[in-house]
Amino acid sequence: MALLEVDSISKSFGGVAAVKDFSMVQGREEISGIIGPNGAGKTTAFNLITGVQPLDSGRIFFDGTEITSLPSHCITRLGIARTFQNIRLFHNLNVLENLMMAGGTRLSYSTWEEMFRLPRVVSQEKRLEKIARSYLSYFHLEKYSMQRPDSLPYGLQRRLELARALMLEPSLLLLDEPAAGLNPREIHNLIELIYKIKEEKRLSIIIVEHHMELVMNICSKIHVLDFGLKIAEGKPEEIKKNPEVLQAYLGEEV
């Protein structure tokens, strides 16, 4: 059974179709990509899948459950996490606290219990900190644990955002332009990191990205959007040979 099924979803803003009749099927432990120029509807598709914006029409199923009308926090709890084009870290918290904040869904005590710092509260928070520190180690961020995110180099902030997404224990990870702002060496490291996450955490991953080297090297399937419409779908080698895609999006870069 597919992990994610998107069935003919559409969304318009002011009469302009941002996404129109977009469908896709995402398998378990699969890496796929969504590409297209600015304004093609890629991020809007992510927003619809994650409940950030409501659908105009269509249906979405995740792990056999319809999530079409669910709010974003419920969709997150079911196992879908995402990153954003513009990094959204809590700059008033340190790196460790950012991870612990993301892992708050793991906590089950009441406000009353927290007020009196009952043993269950202390125990759960210690466990959460242990998990957060394990992700700091996983992403080689231990020495930055007490620093504020905005003091880190951009590449490390991207890594922290990935760590924070994994604190949500997802089975599907949506990465919105993860290579944005990275240099070639950092992009190479990112490709290795995404493979590592997919294999070791056994995740399914969908990537929206403009950097063709990353998409073509890491994705087993690619969906191509043009003004909200999907004009192609296939394996990287098929997309490279598609005349319409080559002319509209990839050009000489491929």
Q: Residue 171: what pLDDT?
A: 97
pLDDT of residue 75: 97
Query: Rounded to an integer, what distance in angstroms lies between the CA atom of residue 96 and that of residue 132?
Result: 7
Q: How far apart are CA 199 and CA 204, in angstroms?
A: 9
Burial per residue of 183-197, b for 16 or more beta-carbon CB atoms within 10 angstroms, e otherwise:
eeebbeebbebbeeb
Query: Angle 243-247-250 (CA atoms, 0-180°, nearest 5)?
Result: 100
Q: Where are the domains of the chain?
A: 1-79+170-254, 91-168
Tell me which CATH code domain 1-79+170-254 carries: 3.40.50.300
CA-to-CA distance for 142 and 94, rounded, in angstroms? 12
CA-CA distance, 126 to 122, in Å (whole number)? 6
Look up the pTM and report it. Answer: 0.92
Q: What is residue 245's three-state secondary structure? A: helix
- Residue 105, both tokens: 């869904």
3-state secondary structure of 33: strand
Q: Measure the CA–CA gap between 73 and 11, rounded to whole angstroms.
A: 20
* Structural contact between residues 102 and 66, judged by C-beta atoms closer than 8 angstroms: no
Alpha carbon distance 36, 19 (integer Å)? 12
**Alpha-helix runs per DSSP H in the chain:** 42-49, 72-78, 95-102, 111-115, 119-138, 154-166, 184-201, 212-218, 236-241, 243-245
Mean pLDDT by 10 residues, the chain (254 residues): 95 96 97 92 97 97 97 96 92 96 82 79 91 97 97 96 96 96 93 96 95 92 94 94 78 46
What pLDDT is attached to residue 254? 42
Give the DSSP letter string of 129-190. Answer: HHHHHHHHHHTT-GGGTTS-GGGS-HHHHHHHHHHHHHTT--SEEEEESTTTT--HHHHHHH
Of 238, 169, 236, 232, residue with least CA distance to 197: 169
Q: Give the DSSP H/E element, type plus range, for residue 230.
A: strand 229-234
CB 132 within 8 A of CB 164: no
Specify burial of residue 94 (Cβ count, 10 A radius: 0-12, 13-18, 19+). Answer: middle
User: 167 and 99 in contact (C-beta within 8 Å)?
Assistant: yes
